[in-house]
Every structure is written in C-alpha cells, then in structure tokens.
Amino acid sequence: MSNTTVLTSPAVPHPAPHTARSRTTRLVTDSVTMTRRGLLYWSRNPGPLVVALLFPVMMLVMFAYFLGGGMAVAGGGDYIEFLVPGMLALTMAFGLENTMIAVTQDVNRGVLDRFRSMPIAPSAILVGRSVIDMLHSVVGLLIMIGAGLLIGWRWHGPLAAALAAVGLLLLLRFAMLWVGIYLGLVVGKPEMVQAVQILVWPVAFLSSVFVSPTTMPAWMGTIAEWNPMSATAGAVRELFENPSWAASSWVTDNAVGVAALWPLALLVIFVPLAIRRFSALSR
C-alpha cells in the first residue's frame, strides 16, 4: 500500500470587494489630499490670490465713489446699499474666470494626466478643485462684505435672513464654479480664457448689479431681469432689506426662489458635462 501525498497550493486571498463605504472613504481622503495641494499652492504663490481678492474691492470703490454720485435708485434709497448686494453677486459670478484659469493650467502642464495615472479616485480631482475654489470664494465674500461695511453699507434684516443671503451667494458661486470647470476642460488653453472674460462683462452689465432694469429698453430690461446675477442680487437685496428697483413682476415677487433655482439648474446641466468631459480626456 503506497503512501500518497496530496500537495495543495496555499489559499490565495481574494481582494476585498470595493464596498460603497470604502469607495466613499477613498473619495473623501483623496479629495482632502487634492484640497491640501491647492492650499499649498496658495501659500507658495500668494500673489495671484491677493490680486483676485482685491480686484472686486477696487471695482466696488470705483462704482461707489467715482460713478455713484450720478446714480439714482429707481425706487429711492441709498445707491451704496443698492450697489453692494449687486457687487457681491457679481463677485461670485466672476469666480468663473479663476476656476477656468486653474483648470486650463493643470491641463496644459500635464498635471491632470499625472493625477489620473495615480491610484486616486478620479472624481476627487474635480471635488478638490471645487473645495479649494469655494474656500477662496468664502474668503473673497467676507472681504467684500467688510469693504461694503467700511464704505457705509448696512443690512437691516434679521441675522437669519442675512445668513440666507450669504448662502444664496455661495450657491451661485458653486454653480459658476462647475461652469468654469467644464469650460476650462473644453477650451484647454489659458489664453482662451480671455474670450470668456470678454463675454462675462456684457452679461454682468446686462443685469441689475449696477442699475435697475427699468432704466433699460423694455426688451433689454426683460433679459436683465431674468439674468441669474439679477436674480441673486434681487434676492440678496430683499434678504438684507436694502433698496431694490421699483418694479413688480413674477421674477421680483419670487426673487429668493428664482435665485435658488438658477444655480440648481446650472448644476444639473454642468456637473454631468464636466464629469463626462473629464472622463474623456484620456481617450
């Protein structure tokens, strides 16, 4: 009777399946890493950050003192109290350009390609970009509010309403941020951002940021009234209890709701577009 030895190979452990919790944890961890990368860039290159923060303050002072003396609020009231909420909305929209520049620089330097080759969650790259830009926007908004207080602007409503106004401003910025990410991925070159900058200014002036739409030709006033910046500016004026234009329409009567719907609509459109465009970069 022969002895037979059965050789068995050692069991090879199978990799643990990626659960929803592990994927979420990885996304959060990688997003924090990408955000830290942005903060380190700020600390090493503070110049562009300082310029981006001070430019809206310069515009506020210019319109308040250089041009404000010749401005009149259609419904009556102090022009500075009319102007500051509009400038806050404009500052949130202008953040689009900063996001585009950052994205196009990463594309041209091959930074996005290097990140995509690393074992990190691909969506963390865009999430980190959005977090760092929102931090920049919060700082910029606080500086603008401080500048407004220094030149005589005040809010007259309750604190809860003021916080709601700040929330609407940041919601607009979050929506414009994703518009900027998508456009940055599409144009791909920093010099193309100039074309977008040229288009931003007409959109900014075709709004209620500086003057009432009632002072414009009827067709132009209608476009200005439905401008997302006008919606946010009107809602912020209402919540701050600052003077607005003397007009009654569906948009003005539902300013807060319209100011919330516009950014949400932009997010529904541009977040999937940005993710799809980002995914197509390696193809």
**Which of 79-93, 135-149, 182-196 comes out lowest in average pLDDT?**
182-196
Domain membership of residue 27 (yes or no) is no
Residues 6+ positions from 56 with CB-CB distance below 8 Å: 87, 90, 91, 94, 140, 143, 144
Q: What is the share, in percent, of the chain residues with pLDDT greater than 90?
A: 28
Residue-wise pLDDT for 158-173, tens only, equals 999 999 999 999 999 9
Residue 121 pLDDT > 60:
yes
Residue 279 pLDDT > 90:
no
Residue 206 pLDDT > 70:
yes
Select from 100, 105, 91 the least CA-distant residue to 55. Answer: 91
Looking at residue 119, what DSSP letter applies? S
Mean pLDDT of 221-242: 91
Number of domains in the chain: 1
Domain membership of residue 124 (yes or no) is yes
Q: How far apart are CA 91 and CA 198, in angstroms?
A: 16
Domain membership of residue 91 (yes or no) is yes
Comparing 75 with 2, the larger pLDDT belongs to 75
242 alpha-carbon distance from chain centroid: 24
Residue-wise pLDDT for 129-169, tens only, equals 888 889 989 999 999 999 999 999 999 989 999 999 999 99
Domain membership of residue 25 (yes or no) is no
For the residues of 12-32, what is the DSSP string, one character each?
Answer: PPPPPP--HHHHHHHHHHHHH
pLDDT at 95: 74
pLDDT at 23: 66
Domain membership of residue 16 (yes or no) is no
What pTM does this model have?
Answer: 0.83
* Token pair in block for residue 66: 């250089």
φ/ψ region of 110 (left if φ > 0, alpha if ψ in -120 to 50, else beta) reads: left
User: What amino acid occupies position 264?
Assistant: L
Comparing 143 with 33, the larger pLDDT belongs to 143
Q: How far apart are CA 208 and CA 83, in angstroms?
A: 9
Indicate the average pLDDT of the chain.
81
Report the 10 Å Cβ neighbour count for 259. 27
Domain ranges, residue 265 = 46-282
Domain membership of residue 26 (yes or no) is no
Looking at residue 9, what DSSP letter applies? P
Domain membership of residue 255 (yes or no) is yes
Domain membership of residue 20 (yes or no) is no
Phi, psi dihedrals of residue 99, rounded to the nearest 5° = -65, -45
Residue 33 pLDDT > 80:
no
